[in-house]
Structure 1
Amino acid sequence: SIPHCIPTRTEISSYTQSLVDTLQAVLTSPELPIDKQPLLVAGRRTNVNMVQPNEITTFQGIHDIARSRGEMDIGHAIDYIVVDRRFPWNCIPDLVIGRVVYDNWLVGHAILEGQVVVVEATETLLAVHQLGKEGRKEGSRRPNNDYNRDLVRRIHVTNQALSVTCAPWKTLNGPDGRINMKKVKMHKGCGQL
C-alpha cells in the first residue's frame, strides 16, 4: 500500500495502473531525496468529451479513449496532487480546493520554498477527465471562483503560483519500459501565472 493521500478534482473519471506504477517508481527512486524531504507529485489530465460508462470498465478502455479522442489539458493546469504525510500543510493559507489558483499556488509554493521534492508525473500517469456539454471551463462559473486569487493578493504571496511544468523533477517512460526520474532546470516561462 502507498501511504500517501491523493487530492484530485472530482471530475477525473479514471486513473489506470499508471497511477500505481508511477507512484511506486517515485517512491523507490534512488535519485529523489524523499528520505529527507516531503514529497509532492502532480500532473495534468487528458480531457475526453462525453465518456460513456462502458468505455472505462478496463484500463485498456481508458487508454483507448484517451489515445483516440483525448487532448492534454493546457500547460498551467494541475489536476492531481499526491503528497506524503510530511507535507507542510501548516504553511498553506486557507485556500479553497477546486477553485482557481489553489493547485498552482500549492505546487509553486512547494517548488519555490525548496523544502519539498516536487515531481511532475504527466508523461507517465494517465488521468482521464470527462468533459461535459460546457467543456473545460465549466468549473469557472462557480460562485466566489476568485476567492483564492483574492486571498493570495491580500496576503502578498501572488508570486508563488506556478505551472507543474516548473517542477524540478519529471517522470519519463524509459526505452526499457521502466519509469525514470529526470532532474530538470526551471525554464524561463516559470513565473507568476
Structure 2
Amino acid sequence: MYVQAKKLYNTYWHGYFNGDILLTDGFLETLEYVSSVSDNFPNASILIIGRRINVLNVTSEEVRKINGIIETAKSRGSLFEIDAEDYFITNKFFPWEQIPAFVIGRAGYDNWIVGHARCDLGTIVVDATETLTVVHQTTSKGGNKEGFAHLNKKYNFELMQRLKLPKRFLHGLTTCAEWRTFRTIKTRRIELVRRDDLHKNCKCKK
C-alpha cells in the first residue's frame, strides 16, 4: 500500500489510519512541527505513531465539529493500551519496500513494524500521543480485539515465522519510541523531546 502510494504521490509524508479513527487539528499541527525540525535528522527515516482514545458509541452530533471530537474524547474517552497502534505516518525515506506483506487488522504487525524500525532500520520513531488526539469509534459489539476473532488471526505471526524474522513485539510499544511530542504549558506550542525513561524491555537485542 505504501509502496504504491509513494509511486503515485511525490510528497514528503505518507500515512495510514484505521478506518474507524477520527482526527482533530492536532494531526496537521503535529505533522507541521515534525516537518519543521526534520532537518535535524537529514535523510533519516521518520515514523510517527501514537496511542488512541476509545470512545463508546460516538454520536454524529458529538463529531460535527473538531472541538466536539476533542471534548468527547476528554469527557468519556479512555486512552487505550501501549501495544495498539492504529496509524503509521512515515517520511519519504522510510523503506516500506523492505517490510513484509503483513495483513492490516490482524495481530502483531503493528508492534513488529515499530520495533523493526527502531532496532534494525535506525528510524526516528516519534510518539505523538500527547499532541495528536486520535479517537477510536468503539462499539459494544467490538472494535478493540476484533483482529483476534478472524479465521486467519495468526497470519502475521505465521508469516514472521516463515521469514524467520526477529521478535520485535516488546520493542515496538508506543512507549518505546525514543522521541515524543508534547505541548508546552504556557504557550501550548508543540515541541519534540527525546525520552530518557525507556523501559528495559525496549532495549533492542540482536
Mapped to 2, the partners of 1:164 and 1:78 lie a distance apart of 7
Partner of 1:18: 26
Query: Given the superposition, is the C-alpha separation of residues 30 and 81 from structure 1 closer, same or farther in structure 2, using an over 3 Å criterion?
Result: closer
Partner of 1:183: 194
Cα deviation, 1:94-132, whole Å, max 9, x if unaligned, reads 211221111111111100024321111011100100111
Mapped to 1, the partners of 2:124 and 2:146 lie a distance apart of 32
Which of structure 1's runs of 4+ aligned residues deviate more than 6 A?
A: none
Q: How much does 1:141 deviate? A: 1.2
Letter in 2 for 1:47: N
Letter in 1 for 2:14: C
**Unaligned 5+ runs, structure 2:** 1-10
Q: How much does 1:3 deviate? A: 3.5
After TM superposition, the structure 1 = structure 2 runs for residues 61-80 of structure 1, keeping only pairs within 5 Å, are: 61-80=68-87
Mapped to 1, the partners of 2:99 and 2:68 lie a distance apart of 38
Partner of 2:173: 163
Choose which of 156, 159, 173 in structure 1 pairs with 2:183. 173
Contact 1:31 1:181 in 2 (8 A): no
Partner of 1:125: 132
Identity, in percent, stands at 36
Q: How much does 1:191 deviate? A: 6.4
Partner of 1:149: 157
TM-score, with structure 2 as normaliser: 0.85
Mapped to 2, the partners of 1:89 and 1:114 lie a distance apart of 11
TM-score, with structure 1 as normaliser: 0.90
Query: Given the superposition, is the C-alpha separation of residues 168 and 32 from structure 1 closer, same or farther in structure 2, using an over 3 Å criterion?
Result: farther
Mapped to 2, the partners of 1:154 and 1:191 lie a distance apart of 25
**Unaligned 5+ runs, structure 1:** none
| RMSD, aligned CA | 1.8
Aligned length: 189
Q: How much does 1:87 deviate? A: 1.2
Mapped to 2, the partners of 1:68 and 1:99 lie a distance apart of 30
Mapped to 2, the partners of 1:142 and 1:130 lie a distance apart of 20
Letter in 2 for 1:29: V
Q: How much does 1:31 deviate? A: 7.8
Partner of 1:43: 50
1:60 aligns with 2:72: no
Cα deviation, 1:139-166, whole Å, max 9, x if unaligned, reads 3212301100111122222422221210
